[in-house]
Amino acid sequence: MIQIHKSKNRGKTHIDWLESYHSFSFGHYYDPDNIQFGPIRVLNDDIIAPGAGFPTHPHNNMEIVTISLEGELAHEDSTGGKGVIRPGEVQRMTAGKGVYHSEFNNSDDNPAHILQIWFIPDKAGYEPSYEQKKYNQNDAKNSLLKLVSKKEGDGIVTINQDVDLFLSELEKDNTIKHKISEGRGVYLFLIDGLLNVIENEVNPRDAVKVSNENELTITAKSNARFILFDVFLN
């Protein structure tokens, strides 16, 4: 089964320094049919104005992954973790028992554009921790480059949940196939470009939910960039 969640149907938060779109119920946006997909709870598409950001605030019992699409985001948390995330880097924060953190655009001149993803962990009460790694963007060309997993690996940040998150930059007319194990599903979010997914047209910022399928066939109708989650389904 395949479902398309259209970009225009996402929730949104627009304030003077933030333009944010929500693929799942978040904040004032509530859709009882779109609360989570497996352990994926939040996928926010955020554009943060120069010099602005999220002041110190708490989180607990959530695995939070940030991917930078454009610009620089400075991060600091109460565990002592701090840094700046740029395109070609992925960051993970385990909120666990509880953590305070802040995130600010590191530039006074240019916006920062990020994807922030929250996963429900496999259990509550982990010690808070932080991790950031670089990856080679060329390795995503016409391939699925793993950025996040429960299993450790080069260029991979690890989370406390049975999830694999991939990035792909698929060139026009190229096709990728992804096998789906029993009991698992796929969630695909198209960042830019055009795709055909199991004979369904997918446009920028659309999401695709796939369940009860053995294999996913993805063809680029133009140069396209997307992230793909392979998750267990309850």
Q: What is the CATH number of the domain that holds 39?
A: 2.60.120.10
Q: Is residue 90, in this structure, part of any structural domain at all?
A: yes
Helix (H, G, I), strand (E, B) or coil at 9: helix
Residue 178 belongs to a domain: no
What's the pLDDT score for residue 152? 86
Q: Which residues have CB under 8 Å from 73's CB, separation 6+? A: 48, 53, 66, 84, 85, 103, 104, 105, 106, 112, 114
The CA-CA-CA angle for residues 40, 43, 49, to 5°, reads 155
* Per-residue confidence (pLDDT) for residue 153, from 0 to 100: 79
Q: What confidence category does residue 222 fall into, taking pLDDT thresholds of 50, 70 and 90?
A: very high
Predicted confidence (pLDDT) per residue in 196-208, tens digit: 998 899 999 999 9
Report pLDDT digits (tens) over 45-99: 999 999 999 999 999 999 999 999 999 999 999 988 889 999 999 999 999 999 9
Backbone φ and ψ for 233, nearest 5 degrees, come out as: -120, 135
pTM of the model: 0.96
pLDDT (tens digit per residue) in 86-119: 999 999 999 999 999 999 999 999 999 999 999 9
Residue 219 resides in a domain? no
For residue 228, being part of any structural domain is answered with no
Query: Residue 82 domain-assigned?
Result: yes
| Triad 40, 68, 30: Cα angle to 5° | 35
In angstroms, the Cα distances linking 226 to 48, 50, 165 are 21, 25, 11
Q: Would 231 be classed as within a structural domain?
A: no
For residues 178 and 168, what is the distance between their CA atoms, to the nearest angstrom?
12
Does some domain include residue 88?
Answer: yes
pLDDT at 79: 87
105-109 long-range Cβ contacts below 8 angstroms, 24+ apart: 105/48, 105/49, 105/50, 105/51, 105/52, 105/53, 105/71, 105/72, 105/73, 105/74, 106/71, 106/72, 106/73, 106/74, 107/50, 107/51, 107/71, 107/72, 108/50, 108/51, 109/50
Into how many domains does the chain fold?
A: 1
Q: Does the structure show a pLDDT above 90 at 192?
A: yes
Domain of residue 64 covers: 11-137
pLDDT digits (tens, 9 = 90+) for 110-169: 999 999 999 999 999 999 999 999 999 999 999 999 999 999 877 799 999 999 999 999
Sign, CA torsion 20/21/24/26: positive
Identify whether 225 is part of a domain: no
